[in-house]
Structure 1
Amino acid sequence: MNALAPLIVALLGGIGLAVQPSTNAALGRSIGSVLLAALVSFAVGTVILTGVWLMADRTPLANLRDARPWMFMGGAYGAFFVAAAAFAAPRLGLASMLTIMIAAQVVAAVVIDRFGLIGLPRTPISAVRLAGVGLVLVGAVLIRRG
């Protein structure tokens, strides 16, 4: 695999996360329901992922038996994120909403890394990591005030 592939995928995913809340909020306004907009968003994503899985992967569904129940919670987190973002973006502004969410993600990620939660390797909290967290938090405050 090309060493740039994960970086490019992460960048494209980040762009998608920046566009998604506004798109879902617009759909929510149009149809009168943020929750229905989030459901439609997940339905469209499910159809697309099903097609890609059928064409490119086809890992047997039986493999799902090997997963522990808590491993299925990713869909719940994603559903909450999509609904929360569609709700918050028009009320806070996209930049404020995203920086608040990113700050929360970075703080949670540092804690998850520190304790090696969810099957990830342990990564100590260093002064440099704390400085990075601090800069993200300052950035969120500056965006919100600006």
Structure 2
Amino acid sequence: MNPTTMVPALLVLVAGGLIALQAPTNSLIARAGGSAVLAALISFAVGTAALLVVWLAGGHRPRGAAFAGLPWYAWIGGFYGATFVAVAAYAAPRIGLASLITIGIAGQIVVAMCLDQVGALGLPRDPISAVKLLGAMLVIAGVILVRIG
């Protein structure tokens, strides 16, 4: 791996580990509060506060005009995350953390390959190849092995 991609890859690795921690901690809140949606709301409130502090410390202040030309779907990214966080808080104690994470990764790979294939949402076009399909099938096989194991 070249140095240009090493730091982002390591950050993604750490962030992925944090996602594994997020589901069980949110499940604790869901159990106490009786609602996976409430747990997700609390999780996003804490996350929003943390991001606000980091953003304010960074000093970058774009003008409102920078956002004027964005398509409507650019504004709904948080919905996807909120859905996953609420579903994860609900599902983790029912199917187990390893199943939750592997099934989620399989879903991410399938959608990511479709988005890359057409270059959706401003991504560079990266066609699906036989090797990528094999990789996706191996991940799905891993999901099955984790579930039956």
TM-score bin (small chain): over 0.9
After TM superposition, the runs of 4+ consecutive aligned structure 1 residues lying more than 6 A away are: none
Shift of 1:127: 1.0
> Deviations along 1:52-94, whole A, 9 cap, x unmatched?
0000143325133332221011100010010011111111000
Deviation (angstroms), 1:111 = 0.8
The yes-or-no answer on 1:126 pairing with 2:126 is: no
Distance, in Å, in 2 between the alignment partners of 1:108 and 1:23 is: 26
For the aligned residue pairs, the C-alpha RMSD in angstroms reads 1.4
Aligned to 2:24, which of 15, 18, 22?
22
TM-score (structure 2 length as normaliser): 0.92
Specify the alignment match of 1:116 in structure 2.
119
Counterpart selection for 1:80 from 80, 83, 103: 83
Instruction: Report the Cα offset of residue 5 of structure 1.
Output: 1.5
The TM-score, its normalising length taken from structure 1, stands at: 0.94
Identity over aligned pairs, percent:
47
Q: Deviations for 1:80-137, whole angstroms, at most 9, x for unmatched residues?
A: 0100111111110000111111101101111111111111111111111011001000
What is the CA–CA distance in structure 1 between the aligned matches of 2:97 and 2:111, rounded to whole Å? 21
Q: Give 1:54's match in structure 2, choosing from 49, 53, 56.
A: 56
Gaps of 5+ in 2: none
Residue by residue over 1:24-66, the C-alpha shift from the partner in whole angstroms, topping out at 9 and shown as x without a partner, is 0111112221111100000000001011000014332513333
